[in-house]
Amino acid sequence: MTPTGVPGVVETIEAHGETTLVVDPARIVEACTHLRDAEGFNVLADVCGVDYLGWGEKEVAGYIGTATGRDLNAAGSQGFQRVPEPKPKRLAVVYHLLRVSDDPARVRVKAWLDDGEEIDSVVPVWPAADWNERETYDLFGIVFRGHPNLVRILMPDDWEGHPLRKDYPIGGEPVRFSGEP
Amino acid sequence: MAVMPAKRIYEGTRIPSPCPTILEIDPAKHALEDILTVNFGPNHPSTHGVLRLIVDLDGEEVAGIRAVIGYLHTGFEKSMESKTYWKGITYPERIDYLSFQANELVFVLAIEKLLGIETPEKATWMRMCLSELNRIHSHLVWLGTSALEIGAISMFWYAFRERDMILDLFEMVTGVRMHTRYFQVGGLAEDIPEGFYAQARELARHMPHAVDDYEGLLDRNAIWLERTKGIGLLSAEDAVALGQSGPMLRASGVDWDLRKSAPYLFYDEVDFDVPVYTNGDVYDRYKVHMDEMRASARIVNQCVTRLEELRGTAWIADDRKVVLPPREELHTSMESLIHHFKIVTEGYLVPEGEVYVAIESARGECGCYLVSDGGPKPWRVKFRAPSFAALQATATCVRETLIADLIAVAASLDPVMGDVDR
| For chain B, domain boundaries | 86-318+347-393
Rounded to whole angstroms, the Cα distance separating B137 from A6 reads 43
Question: Does the beta-carbon distance from B369 to A100 stay under 8 Å?
Answer: no
Architecture of the CATH domain B86-318+347-393: Orthogonal Bundle (1.10)
Rounded to whole angstroms, the Cα distance separating A107 from A18 reads 7
Mind telling me how many Å the CA of B23 is from chain A's nearest CA? 12
Query: DSSP state, A40?
Result: -
How many interchain CB pairs under 8 A, A with B? 171
pLDDT at B181: 87
A43 contact partners, CB below 8 Å, separation of at least 6: A97, A98, A99, A100, A126, A128, B240, B243, B245
Confidence of residue A53 (pLDDT cuts 50, 70, 90): confident
Residue B394 to residues A73, B24, B387, B409, Cα–Cα distance (Å): 55, 13, 11, 8
- Using an 8 Å Cβ cutoff, are B107 and B89 in contact? yes
- Using an 8 Å Cβ cutoff, are B367 and B107 in contact? no
Q: Please write the tens of the pLDDT for every residue from B192-214.
A: 998 999 999 999 999 999 999 99
User: With 60 as the cut, is the pLDDT of residue A20 above it?
Assistant: yes
Spell out which residues of chain B touch residue A65, defining contact as CB-CB under 8 Å: 115-116, 351
B113: closest chain A residue by CA:
A16
Confidence of residue A138 (pLDDT cuts 50, 70, 90): very high
Amino acid at B318: D
3-state secondary structure of B239: helix
Whether A29 has its CB under 8 Å from any CB of chain B: the answer is yes
Bridge partners (DSSP) listed for residue A12: A21
Which residues in B135-164 are b (16+ Cβ under 10 Å) and which e?
bbbbbbbbbbbbbbbbebeebbebbeebbe
- Using an 8 Å Cβ cutoff, are B305 and B267 in contact? no
Spell out which residues of chain A touch residue B316, defining contact as CB-CB under 8 Å: none
Residue B75's φ and ψ, nearest 5 degrees, are 70, 40
Q: Judge if ipTM > 0.85.
A: yes
Give all strands of the β-sheet with B61-68 in edge-to-edge order.
B35-40, B52-58, B61-68
Which residues in B29-53 are b (16+ Cβ under 10 Å) and which e?
ebeeeeeeeeebbbebebbbbbbbb
A1-52+89-181 in CATH: which number?
3.30.460.80
- Using an 8 Å Cβ cutoff, are B178 and B172 in contact? no
3-state secondary structure of B278: coil
List the one residue out of B165, B414, B200 whose CA is nearest residue B296: B200
pLDDT at A80: 42
Rounded to whole angstroms, the Cα distance separating A93 from B361 reads 25
Bridge partners (DSSP) listed for residue A11: A22
List the one residue out of B414, B299, B410, B398 whose CA is nearest residue B364: B414
Confidence of residue A172 (pLDDT cuts 50, 70, 90): low
3-state secondary structure of B128: helix
Q: Could you give the angle at the alpha carbon of B408 between the alpha carbons of B405 and B409, nearest 5°? A: 85
- Using an 8 Å Cβ cutoff, are B422 and B74 in contact? yes
What is the mean pLDDT for each group of 10 consecutive residues in chain B (422 residues)?
Answer: 45 79 82 84 72 88 89 88 88 89 92 89 92 93 88 87 92 89 89 91 92 89 87 88 90 89 89 90 91 93 92 86 86 89 83 90 92 86 92 88 87 87 86
- Using an 8 Å Cβ cutoff, are A136 and A48 in contact? yes
Spell out which residues of chain A touch residue B85, defining contact as CB-CB under 8 Å: none
The alpha-carbon radius of gyration of chain A (Å, integer) is 20
Q: Could you give the angle at the alpha carbon of A36 between the alpha carbons of A32 and A40, nearest 5°? A: 145
Q: Which region holds residue B144: left if phi is over 0, alpha if psi is between -120 and 50, else beta?
A: alpha
Whether B70 has its CB under 8 Å from any CB of chain A: the answer is yes
